[in-house]
């Protein structure tokens, strides 16, 4: 499903984000998917630049996950793809394997940071296998990140944790995403610093209207 752009910017200049929820039961209609709505809500609060969303709800099948990621990057030309679900140790959890299979570069730091955040809450966070990769074609590239399945955990890993005074306890992974997208040739992304403060080296900062 394709959502409309957030403003009237030219489509080729607009950031395209793919959201993939991996769930046998949600894709089968057993219950309502909560991953994509949670991602949609968070992005709406965090991004201040125009963007368009491509959503996919698929089962825990490795071939389906691989095909979906390839289609979102190569055909839909997403610059960023966020998956949710399928990252645990059970036999049906194959999202990381599918993600690595379509990758040209692995970006393990994202998964490491997600586990650091989740370990603040539960010791079983070490069982999570989230990772991130870059997929490159001849003229396009995208960052693909595996996120947790629960809306609360999605928000925490993207945004990070703060104390009651608003000071950062653990940084969220999204702070590094805009600069990563810069480096692979994607659109310049800006965020609401109250939600996720983007970090870029001074040499990479651009003046915006």
Q: Per-residue pLDDT tens for 70-113?
A: 999 999 999 999 999 999 999 999 999 999 999 999 999 999 99
Res 10: pLDDT: 35
Query: Which of the pair, 93 or 209, is modelled with greater confidence?
Result: 93
Helix (H, G, I), strand (E, B) or coil at 51: strand
Q: Any residues with CB less than 8 A from the CB of 102 and at least 6 apart, and which?
A: 66, 69, 70, 73, 133, 135, 144
- Structural domains in the chain plus CATH codes: 11-198 (3.40.980.10)
Stretch 119-133: mean pLDDT: 94
**Residue (of 55, 115, 52, 112) closest to 83 by Cα position:** 55
Q: What is the rounded average pLDDT of the residues 124-137?
A: 96
Cβ(129)–Cβ(99) below 8 Å:
no
Q: Say whether pTM exceeds 0.85.
A: yes
- Alpha-carbon Rg for the chain, nearest whole angstrom, is 16
What does the pLDDT look like over 148-170, one tens digit per residue?
Answer: 989 999 999 999 988 887 778 88
Residue 156 corresponds to which tokens in the numbers above? 């925490």
- Mean of the per-residue pLDDT values of the chain: 91
Pair 154, 148: CB distance under 8 Å: yes
The DSSP code for 125 is G
Cβ contact 70:102 at 8 Å: yes
Q: Is-contact 59 28, C-beta < 8 A?
A: yes
3-state secondary structure of 159: helix
| Cα dist from 170 to 115, 133, 173, 183, 188, whole Å | 11, 22, 10, 24, 25
């Amino acid at each position: 499903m394709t959502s409309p752009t957030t403003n009237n910017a030219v489509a080729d200049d607009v950031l395209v984000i793919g959201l993939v929820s991996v769930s046998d039961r949600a894709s089968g209609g057993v219950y309502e998917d909560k991953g994509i709505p949670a991602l949609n809500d968070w992005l709406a609060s965090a991004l201040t630049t125009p963007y368009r969303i491509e959503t996919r709800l698929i089962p825990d099948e490795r071939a389906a996950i691989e095909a979906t990621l390839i289609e979102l990057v190569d055909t839909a030309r997403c610059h960023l793809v966020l998956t949710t679900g399928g990252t645990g140790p059970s036999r049906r959890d194959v999202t990381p394997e599918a993600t690595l299979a379509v990758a040209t570069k692995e970006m393990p730091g994202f998964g490491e940071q997600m586990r650091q955040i989740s370990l603040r809450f539960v010791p079983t966070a070490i069982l999570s296998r989230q990772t991130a990769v870059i997929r490159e074609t001849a003229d396009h590239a995208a960052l693909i990140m595996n996120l947790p399945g629960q809306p609360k955990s999605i928000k925490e890993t993207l945004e990070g944790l703060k104390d009651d005074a608003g000071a950062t306890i653990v940084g969220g992974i999204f702070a590094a995403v805009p600069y990563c997208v810069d480096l692979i040739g994607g659109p310049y992304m800006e965020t609401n610093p109250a939600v996720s403060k983007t970090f870029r080296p001074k040499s990479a900062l651009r003046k915006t209207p």
